[in-house]
Structure 1
Amino acid sequence: MRNLKCIVAYDGSNYHGFQRQDNAITVQEVIENGIKRLIKQDVKIIGASRTDSKVHARGQVFNLNLDSSIPTEKFSLALNTKLPDDVVILDACEMNNNFHARYNTKDKLYKYQIYNNKYPSPFYRNYAYHIYNQLDLLKMEEGLKYLIGEHDFTSFRSSGCNAQSPIRKIFDINMEYKEDLIVLNIHGNGFLYNMVRIIVGTLVRVGLGKIRPKEVREILLSKDRKKAGPTAPAHGLILEKINY
């Protein structure tokens, strides 16, 4: 029995998140069904992050205990033949028996894409949050600096969050620009439920002039979700990388 760590990329447009559900199709279900077709066994995978419906990933990680003669170096290619085109296994490697994709995580990198143009783009409709009013990027960059460091992020988590502690550390947060596409990069040791999307919703309000940049710090210190911005749409979010 081998404990394999796998990296998977997926377009979340057609899925109700990563984690298996009883009444909706998920990425986990698709992968587990693919494994069953490949090795004729029922296998349960353990995902590192429970991405929401419509959220995408370039570097989601899962592990599984595998009892199969398929060589580890060929497992990704073999499994991909059993998966739909919007789910791709990028790598597989053998780990010790103690490795756990979720519990051994050290930090994660998320990206959030905003398309800032008067008109929507058919090419980004499933991958970026469309904002038609012009955003003040300098003000957004000023506002995001208040989020760097270790803080109580109660103001930036949804009511359904069941994390025991709201304390999280953001190592870095910055924005990149390519024509009308704005990419927010946020690197932290962990994230509360909807934390990245609420941060984006708040920064968009800063960019629209509805919140002053320094108010981001005040919102953070208030520990009041009602003072932060709305939760940005899920389809702009990408789980980029998980480090161990």
Structure 2
Amino acid sequence: MQRYAICVEYDGTDYSGWQIQLVHNSIQSELASAISKVADENVMPIGSGRTDAGVHAKGQIAHFDSSSNRSEFQWLSGINSELPKSISVKWIKSVDTSFHAKNSAMARCYSYTIYNASTRSSLHHRYSWHVMQKINIDALKESLICLVGEHDFSSFRASGCQSKSPFREMFEVSVAENRKMISIKLEANAFLYHMVRNIVGTAIEIGVGKYDPSWMRNLLELRDRKLAGPTAPPQGLCLESIKFPNAWNV
């Protein structure tokens, strides 16, 4: 039995999320079906993170086991030929059976895109949140600085979150502006359920002048989700990459 790691890119617009479900179409179910056809046996890929409905990915990492003898080229071309155009496998590598896409990961990086204009965009609406009010980039950046480090992120944790601990370590936060597009990137050891979208929703409240940048730090200390901003919509969120220790060569 050989274990393989794969990098998956997908447009999550028309899917119920990563995790396989009985009724709704998911990224995991599409991958499982495609890989199983190429392997000629039932295969279930395990992902590094479970993205929600409507959320996209450029660098989702997953692993699967198979006893089928295929070259990496045969796997890659075969799987992609069976997948819908909204999902693609970018690369595949054979790895040790001790590698685990979720448990071996040491960091996750997400981006969130905002389209900041008075009118909506027909080209960007699937991949961004349209915010009409002018966003103050300096206030946005200032509000997010306090998130770096290890904190109790209870104020940005969804009520349905099943994580045992609300503590997460944020490694990096950045904001980039390109004309009407604003991109917020966050990298952490792990994220709580809806954590990125709740942080972004709160940051935008600050960016449009509803609150002072210091509000973000106050929310961290208060540890109360009810006091924070709204949950940003899913379409602006993208799983950019998963980082692993160099020893895995993934």
Normalized against structure 1, the TM-score is what? Answer: 0.98
- Say what the alpha-carbon RMSD is for the aligned residues: 0.8
Give the aligned partner of residue 65 of structure 1. Answer: 65
Give the aligned partner of residue 202 of structure 1. Answer: 202
Give the aligned partner of residue 171 of structure 1. Answer: 171
Verify the 8 A CA contact 2:144 2:173 in the aligned structure 1.
yes
Verify the 8 A CA contact 1:7 1:90 in the aligned structure 2.
yes
2 CA distance for matches of 1:13 and 1:139?
30
Give the aligned partner of residue 152 of structure 2. Answer: 152
Q: How does 1:50-89 map to 2 (within 5 A)?
A: 50-89=50-89
Verify the 8 A CA contact 2:39 2:66 in the aligned structure 1.
no
User: What CA deviation, in whole Å up to 9, does each residue of 1:81-124 have, x standing for no partner?
Assistant: 11111100001111111111111110011000000000000111
Say whether residues 1:214 and 2:214 are aligned partners: yes
Deviates more, 1:176-185 or 1:71-80: 71-80
2 CA distance for matches of 1:143 and 1:82?
45
Say whether residues 1:131 and 2:131 are aligned partners: yes
For structure 2, which runs of at least 5 residues remain unmatched after alignment? 245-250
Give the aligned partner of residue 226 of structure 1. Answer: 226
Give the aligned partner of residue 100 of structure 2. Answer: 100
- Quote how far apart the aligned CAs of 1:68 are: 1.2
Q: Tell me the SS of whatever aligns to 2:89.
A: strand
Q: How does 1:18-33 map to 2 (within 5 A)?
A: 18-33=18-33
Verify the 8 A CA contact 1:110 1:186 in the aligned structure 2.
yes
- Quote how far apart the aligned CAs of 1:73 are: 3.9
Give the aligned partner of residue 12 of structure 2. Answer: 12
Verify the 8 A CA contact 1:156 1:225 in the aligned structure 2.
yes
2 CA distance for matches of 1:72 and 1:88?
15
For structure 1, which runs of at least 5 residues remain unmatched after alignment? none
Identity of aligned residues (%): 36
2 CA distance for matches of 1:76 and 1:192?
32
- Quote how far apart the aligned CAs of 1:165 are: 0.6
**Which letter maps to 2:173?**
I
- Quote how far apart the aligned CAs of 1:37 are: 2.2
**Which letter maps to 2:163?**
A
**Which letter maps to 1:187?**
E
Give the aligned partner of residue 247 of structure 2. Answer: none
